[in-house]
Amino acid sequence: MLFGKTKGRIERLLIVEDEPLIAFDNEHFLMTHGYTVVGTIDTAAAAQAQIEEGGIDLILCDVRLNDSDGRDVALAAKAAGIPLIFVTATCPIDAPEIAMGCLAKPYGQKELQQAIEAVAAKLDGGVMKKLPKGLTLY
Strand order in the sheet with 135-137: 36-41, 12-16, 58-61, 84-88, 101-104, 135-137
> Where are the chain's structural domains?
12-137
pLDDT at position 66 is: 83
- pLDDT tens per residue, range 55-68: 999 999 999 998 78
**38: pLDDT confidence band, cut at 50, 70 and 90?**
very high
Mean pLDDT of 6-12: 79
Q: Does domain 12-137 have CATH number 3.40.50.2300?
A: yes
